[in-house]
Amino acid sequence: MSAHKNQPFACRLRFAAAGLLYGLVAERSLRLQVAVFGLVVIALLVLEPGALWWALVMVASAAVLGAELLNTALERLTDHLHPDVHPQIRIVKDCAAGAVLLSVLGAIGVAIALAVHLLSGR
């Protein structure tokens, strides 16, 4: 059984924080996405769009960041298990990257809907 299983919540939280920190250090795209998220939060604070829009943006942003972290985890795992280039491993990595792309497109869709809402006078 894994050493991470059945640990107290505080320990599991530290594991999760370590994973997030690793992703931030190792992945330029995650750092960029976190920076964009910071700008989005500032824009929301200025525009004051309402609680529902805040919730939609937060969920979309969490989906992007979560997908990027899962993509990083899959890349590291596949590279460790099979360091050589292999067509099946390439498919796994491409699918994970596709998941990130879809989450980003969904977040862009939320941003466009918010912009239309704000420009239409609420």
> Which of these, 52, 17, 24, lies nearest to 38 by C-alpha position?
24
The one-letter amino acid at 92? V
Catalytic residue among 27, 48, 68, 75: 68
Rg (CA), the chain: 18
- The single-letter code of the amino acid at 68 is E
Active site residue 68: yes
Enzyme catalytic residues? 68
